[in-house]
Amino acid sequence: MSPNSLKPEINVSVISVLFLSGFFTGISWFGIASIFPFIAPDLGVGISELGLMSASFLAGVGLSQIPSGIFSARMGPKQSMILGAFISASSILACAIIHDANLLIALRFSVGIGTAFVFTPGISLVARHFPFDREGFGIGLFDASSLVGAVAGLLGNAILATYLGWRITLVGNGVVGLAIALALIFIIPKEIARSDFRIRASSVKRILLDKWLIAFGLSLLGLEIAIALEGNFMVFYLTSGLGEGAIISGLVTSLLPIFGIFPTIFFGRLSIRMENIRRLVLLMGFLTASSLAIISFSTLISSVVSTILVGFFQSAGFILCINASRQQSNREQEYESLAISWAITLSLVGSFFAPVFFSYAVLLYGYEFAWIACSLLSIGFFVPLVLLKTKLANQQSIDPTQ
pLDDT tens track for 375-397: 999 999 999 888 876 554 454 34
Tens digit of pLDDT for each residue in 3-21? Answer: 444 455 677 888 889 999 9
Which domains, ranges and CATH numbers included, belong to the chain? 12-189+200-391 (1.20.1250.20)
Tens digit of pLDDT for each residue in 20-63? Answer: 999 999 999 888 888 888 998 999 888 788 888 888 898 888 88
Does the structure show a pLDDT above 70 at 295? Answer: yes
Across 172-181, 327-336, 365-374, least confident range: 327-336
CA 122 to chain centre: 12
* Dist. CA 262–CA 130, nearest whole Å: 19
* Dist. CA 41–CA 45, nearest whole Å: 7
pLDDT at residue 342, rounded to an integer: 81
pLDDT at residue 199, rounded to an integer: 64
Spatial contact of 388 and 212, defined as CB atoms under 8 Å apart: yes
Tens digit of pLDDT for each residue in 221-259? Answer: 999 889 888 887 888 889 888 888 878 888 888 888 888
pLDDT at residue 399, rounded to an integer: 47
| Residue 269 binned pLDDT confidence (cut-offs 50, 70, 90) | low
* Dist. CA 196–CA 80, nearest whole Å: 18
pLDDT at residue 291, rounded to an integer: 95
